[in-house]
Amino acid sequence: MHRIELYIEPWNTSSIGVAESDGYVRERLLHSYDEFGGTRHDMLLCAATRSGR
């Protein structure tokens, strides 16, 4: 596998911190990315690649 992506709710600072400490990099905020509970929600895209970029 070359790339792994995580989609994290932007308010979830604990999960963001764990992802970053494991080498994931914040790439972008995806506006209105997913719908749950009848409401659209933003998600933060974090990714790690084999090359580390």
pLDDT per position as a tens digit, 37-46: 999 999 999 9
Max CA separation in the chain (angstroms): 38
pTM: 0.84
pLDDT in tens, 1-53: 899 999 999 999 999 999 999 999 999 999 999 999 999 999 999 999 987 55
Q: Can you give the C-alpha Rg of the chain in angstroms?
A: 12
Q: In the numeric block, which tokens belong to residue 45?
A: 């895209």
Residue 34 corresponds to which amino acid? D
- For 34-42, which contacts have Cβ atoms below 8 Å and span 24 or more sequence positions? 34/7, 41/9, 42/9, 42/10
Phi and psi at 13, nearest 5°, equal -65, -30
